[in-house]
Amino acid sequence: MEFIQNNWGWILLGFVIITIVLMYNSLIARKNMVENMFGSIDALLKQRYDMIPNLVASVREYMKHEREVLEEITKLRSAAINAKSDDEKIDIENRFENLLSKLMVNIENYPQLKANENFLKLQEALKDIEDRISAARRAYNQAVTDYNNAVEMFPANLIAKAFNFKRKKVFEIPESERENVNVGDLFRK
């Protein structure tokens, strides 16, 4: 007891330092989680972008009226592969996702396409990767929300400001996904 009374200043300082260290480490862990999740999502998006040339080749013959959409998808794919920053990748992916959903809806107007075996295989693979991307996107957004909360919450925001931790951007969840409908479902309609 006497020790505490004589050294309360040091004890308080020690407590503050430990709290700062814990908060800093927690911010770093959250930031790493965001990066880790972005790495996962990036790998999955790359897998999907690799499937796009095959998809376009399979449907081009049948979907002559959708030439503009197909060209736009091809352009966005190239842009996504060459994108430098994370924010740029997110923006492109948000646009790409909407365009792909639109294409999948339009496929309904081409019954011959649905009889094509190559296309069916591709559709299955695309559905699987879409599920994974959707889950990875939600995981990424949650990691970003956790990180952003920590960056803005008092007193962690003081540490965040001192060590230059900045807010991060989330992926937009496409309208179709909010309704719990994915590309696979659209194919089956």
Partner 1 sequence: MDLFLINQYRKKLLFIHFFYLFLAALMIIIFFMGWDKYLYIGFKDILNVIFSKNEEWAGWFLIVYAGLVIFFIFLAFKQKKIYDSEIRFELCKNILSNFGVECEKANNSFFDSNILEFYARDYDDIDYSRSHIIKSNHFFGQYFDINKEVETRDSDGNIQTHMENVFSGYIFKFKLEKNYDCNISIKKNSFHLSDILPITYDKSRIKLDNPNFEKKFDVYSENQINARIYLNQKRMENLLKLDNKNPLIILNDIAFYGISMEPIYLIAIPFYREIKEKEINEIKEFYDILEGIYEILK
Counting beta carbons within 10 angstroms of the beta carbon of residue 73, is it exposed (0 to 12), middle (13 to 18) or buried (19 or more)? buried
Q: Tell me whether residue 59 or residue 137 sits nearer to partner 1 (CB atom).
A: 137
Min separation Cβ 76 and partner 1, Å: 23
Q: Tell me whether residue 69 or residue 139 sits nearer to partner 1 (CB atom).
A: 139
Min separation Cβ 169 and partner 1, Å: 17
Token digits for 137?
């996107």
Distance CA 67, CA 61 (A): 10
**Which residue bears the tokens 């309609």?**
189
Helix H or strand E encompassing 10: helix 2-60
Min separation Cβ 83 and partner 1, Å: 21
- CB distance 125 to 51 below 8 Å: yes
Side-chain half-sphere exposure of 7, counting CA atoms within 13 A: 9
Q: Tell me whether residue 11 or residue 29 sits nearer to partner 1 (CB atom).
A: 29
Q: Tell me whether residue 99 or residue 173 sits nearer to partner 1 (CB atom).
A: 173
The alpha carbon of residue 31 and the mean position of all alpha carbons in its chain are separated, in whole angstroms, by 15
Min separation Cβ 176 and partner 1, Å: 13
Min separation Cβ 136 and partner 1, Å: 5
Residues within the interface to partner 1 (CB under 8 A): 19, 22-23, 26-27, 29-30, 33, 37, 40, 131-132, 135-136, 138-139, 142-143, 145-146, 149-150, 153, 156, 180
Q: Tell me whether residue 27 or residue 103 sits nearer to partner 1 (CB atom).
A: 27
- CB distance 167 to 151 below 8 Å: yes
